[in-house]
Amino acid sequence: MAYKTNEVIKSELEALNIAYDDDMTNAELQALLDEATDAPDEQPEVKPVVQDKEVNLGVATIQDHEKRIFAIEQQLKE
């Protein structure tokens, strides 16, 4: 973890609307900031995205057209 000055920590606390005391030490300010910004330990379960067969075929068709267009553009440049 990078060392932050009191001014940096105070500005971050102010941005989060968290009250602090000007007499707090750097460690106390950092602990207050860490407590406020700690992400929950549990991550939400991510379910895989399943696409319909038609969607996959449509994407493949679009990609085929793009390849053909690119090939034609390259031929025209020659």
Within a domain: 55: no
| 63 found inside a domain | no
Average pLDDT over residues 16-22: 87
Note down the domain range covering 14. Answer: 6-37
What's the whole-model pTM score? Answer: 0.43
For the chain, what is the total number of helices (H) and then of strands (E)? 3, 0
pLDDT in tens, 40-69: 555 556 666 666 776 777 777 888 888 999
Can you give the pLDDT at residue 2?
56
Maximum pairwise Cα distance, the chain: 73
Looking at the domain assignment, is residue 33 inside a domain?
Answer: yes
